């Protein structure tokens, strides 16, 4: 049984990731930690990986298991380098070509989302994660005389709300590079559907070192903000946006002709600008998602919510391949789902694996969008009840 992607084993990573609107899904198993090695020593892992077949078996009991297929199956022995090459590199390459790309990690807290995406790897360069490696590839490919690379780093947090479905109802966007800036609006281009956060700090990157420093600063702010708000970082989504702007010289453009006197040359602009954006999302721990619905939130609480234009909503949309809501026509999306081996977390692992299946993501997307709609309706009702209150609904 193939999953909906119809990917062929052995196909080059680029083949799949290069298809617009198509999500490439990899699963990564983290090794047992010290505690699991000791306490679960007598128990088998809850999964068995068959990387050559791109299959994962989820144990049901001692005799039986369910089989799932992925675009890529990364065992506990997969290096950070290999994970980068499989999950991220094709997306980064398309960003360098001027497209938008998204890389997301989804999984239970403690399964390696941040390890996979955000590890700085200063003590051990082999341990560098996707963000750092992506920037290395980007900086190696651009010329900073003519091109520019800049980043913003944000987190989507929920304030004092109980755990709610994807933290949607109390969602605010905070600038991790300027934490006082904690209610950033999101703007959607009506023509392209592209989402931007014009209020966010945008820092130009000149070298790898300053980028790593920014990531470190962002993480420190994330930690401090979550301590202050009495939330956990596992309840927030961290979003890194990398903007790559390149000047494409006329002679490099597809329109150029061998014959410099070609009549086409008259209409050729001296240079073109090509813009690509890479979005890397470290999602909140999947165990935090509960479908408690939109009841019970006050209008006051709801006022701080940026509703239908949620960046995360856009990302969730992008996860549902072939959806009409994919933010831009040329978006490339790569999803890595992270799982732990412990039989204790079999239930969570099972639901994470399900998320790797397209059908489930479509359902997840529908639930997410339905919950936005439901809340909007509720807000409108509240507004009608109390006419003096103004609610900034997207
Ligand atoms: P998450 O962000 O999903 O909550 P983390 O990335 O913080 O999880 O990982 C939890 C712990 O497991 C960390 O101590 C991390 O170093 C370790 N870890 C995660 N993935 C791996 C891996 N593939 N190899 C070695 N250690 C890992
Ligand atoms: Mg984490």
How many angstroms is it from 110 CA to the middle of ligand 2? 7
C-alpha gyration radius of the chain: 22
Instruction: Using the mean position of ligand 2's atoms as its centre, give its distance from the Cα of residue 384 in Å.
Output: 41
- Say yes or no: CB of residue 129 within 6 Å of ligand 1: no
Please choose from 49, 109, 115, 121 the residue to mutate so as to test ligand 1's pocket, defined by most ligand atoms within 8 A of CB: 115
pTM: 0.79
What φ, ψ does residue 84 adopt, rounded to 5°? -60, -45
Tokens of 8: 């062929």
Ligand 1 within 6 A of 112 CB? yes
Any ligand 1 atom below 6 A from CB of 352 = no
**Is the Cβ–Cβ distance between 336 and 116 less than 8 Å?**
yes
Residue whose Cα lies nearest atom 18 of ligand 1: it is 112
Please check the confidence at residue 156 and state whether its pLDDT lies above 50: yes
- CA 118 to centroid of ligand 2, rounded, Å: 8
The pLDDT assigned to 320 comes to: 53
Kindly give the number of the ligand 1 atom that is closest to the alpha carbon of 105: 3
* Residue 73 confidence (pLDDT): 96
Tell me what ipTM this predicted complex has.
0.99
Query: Which residue from 26, 30, 284, 355 has its CB within 8 A of the most atoms of ligand 1, so it is best to mutate?
Result: 30
Determine whether the shortest distance from the Cβ of 338 to ligand 1 is under 6 A: yes
Q: In the predicted model, is pLDDT for residue 141 greater than 70? A: yes
What is the distance in A from the centroid of ligand 1 to the CA of 77? 13
- Is the Cβ atom of 30 under 6 angstroms away from ligand 1? yes
CA 208 to ligand 1 centroid distance, Å: 23
Mean pLDDT computed over 124-130:
97
Sequence-distant (6+) residues with CB within 8 A of 334 are 17, 23, 24, 25, 26, 87, 88, 90, 91, 101, 102, 103, 104
The tens digit of pLDDT for each residue in 46-105 reads 999 999 999 999 998 888 999 999 999 999 999 999 999 999 999 999 999 888 888 999
- Quick: pLDDT tens for 280-310: 988 877 764 433 333 344 443 443 343 333 5
Handedness of CA 82, 83, 87, 88 (dihedral sign): negative
Nearest atom of ligand 1 to the alpha carbon of 30: 23
Least confident of 92-96, 158-162, 224-228: 158-162
């Amino acid at each position: 049984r193939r999953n909906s992607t119809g990917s062929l084993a052995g196909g080059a990573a680029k083949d799949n990731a290069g298809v617009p609107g198509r999500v490439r899904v990899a699963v990564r198993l983290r090794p047992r930690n010290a505690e699991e090695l000791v306490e679960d020593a007598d128990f088998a892992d809850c999964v068995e990986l068959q990387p050559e077949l791109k299959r994962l078996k989820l144990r049901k009991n001692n005799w039986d298991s369910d089989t799932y297929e992925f675009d890529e199956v990364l065992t506990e022995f997969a290096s950070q380098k290999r994970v980068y090459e499989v999950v991220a590199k094709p997306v980064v390459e398309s960003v360098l070509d001027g497209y938008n790309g998204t890389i997301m990690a989804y999984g239970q807290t403690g399964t390696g989302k941040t390890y996979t995406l955000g590890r700085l790897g200063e003590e051990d360069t082999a341990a560098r994660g996707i963000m750092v490696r992506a920037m290395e590839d980007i900086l190696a490919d651009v010329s900073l005389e003519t091109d520019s690379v800049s980043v913003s780093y944000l987190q989507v947090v929920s304030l004092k709300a109980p755990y709610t479905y994807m933290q949607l109802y109390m969602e605010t966007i905070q600038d991790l590079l300027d934490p006082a800036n904690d209610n950033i609006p999101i703007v959607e281009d009506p023509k392209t559907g592209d989402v931007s956060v014009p209020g966010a700090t945008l820092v130009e990157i000149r070298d790898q070192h300053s980028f790593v420093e920014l990531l470190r600063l962002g993480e420190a702010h994330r930690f401090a903000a979550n301590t202050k708000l009495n939330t956990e970082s596992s309840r927030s989504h961290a979003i890194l946006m990398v903007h790559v702007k390149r000047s494409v010289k006329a002679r490099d453009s597809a329109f150029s002709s061998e014959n410099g006197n070609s009549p086409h040359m008259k209409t050729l602009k001296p240079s073109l600008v090509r813009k690509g954006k890479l979005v890397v999302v470290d999602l909140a721990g999947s165990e935090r998602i509960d479908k408690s619905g939109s009841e019970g939130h006050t209008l006051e609480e709801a006022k701080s919510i940026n509703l239908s234009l949620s960046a995360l909503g856009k990302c969730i949309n992008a996860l549902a391949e072939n959806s009409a809501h994919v933010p831009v026509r040329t978006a490339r999306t790569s999803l890595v789902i992270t799982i732990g081996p412990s039989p204790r977390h079999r239930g969570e692992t099972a639901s994470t694996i399900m998320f790797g299946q397209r059908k489930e993501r479509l359902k997840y997307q529908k639930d997410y969008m339905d919950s936005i709609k439901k809340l909007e309706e509720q807000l409108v009702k509240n507004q009608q009840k109390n006419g003096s209150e103004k609610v900034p609904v997207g």
